[in-house]
Amino acid sequence: MRIEVFWRVAAVQLVAVAVLSLLLAIVFSHGFFVNWGWLVGPAAWLGCAWGTARVVGLEPGPTLVRALLAGLVSLLAVIIGLHWLGLLVAVALFAYLCARESEEPETWT
């Protein structure tokens, strides 16, 4: 695992999500998130992941797939009402997936 990539991805994604969350909370009422959070939340998560990929220097396509996988896992925490725990789980898993070393296939000699 590339530990420097892990921490950079985790920090950038966490800051991006926090800043976007604050901006959206200022612009929209609570009712908006009650009605549209199911759509806005995942879109914001993926948008922040795209920005993280650009800042950290990762390929956007695979990074968005990793963000989608991390978001699906965190959905369990959101369903039981622990939204911020879901965010922390998603950020940690997303950073881990981005930092994994790509394994080259073994060749037979």
At 54-76, the pLDDT tens digits run 999 999 999 999 999 999 999 88
Task: Flag whether 109 is in a domain.
Answer: no
Q: What is the pLDDT of residue 41?
A: 92
Q: Rounded to an integer, what distance in angstroms lies between the CA atom of residue 79 and that of residue 11?
A: 25
Task: Flag whether 17 is in a domain.
Answer: yes
- Residues 64 and 46 sit within 8 Å (Cβ to Cβ): yes
When divided into structural domains, the chain yields a total of: 1
Q: Rounded to an integer, what distance in angstroms lies between the CA atom of residue 59 and that of residue 51?
A: 11
Task: Flag whether 86 is in a domain.
Answer: yes
Task: Flag whether 104 is in a domain.
Answer: no
Q: Rounded to an integer, what distance in angstroms lies between the CA atom of residue 8 and that of residue 16?
A: 12
Task: Flag whether 18 is in a domain.
Answer: yes
Q: What is the pLDDT of residue 101?
A: 75
Mean pLDDT, the chain, whole residue set = 92
Task: Flag whether 74 is in a domain.
Answer: yes
Give me the percent of the chain exceeding a pLDDT of 90: 79
User: What domain range includes position 24?
Assistant: 3-99
Q: Does the pLDDT of residue 40 top 70, yes or no? A: yes
Question: Once rounded to an integer, what is the mean pLDDT over residues 81-85?
Answer: 89
Task: Flag whether 43 is in a domain.
Answer: yes
Task: Flag whether 105 is in a domain.
Answer: no
- The owner of tokens 């695979």 is 62
Q: What is the pLDDT of residue 104?
A: 52
Q: What is the pLDDT of residue 108?
A: 64
DSSP, collapsed to helix, strand or coil, labels residue 1 as coil
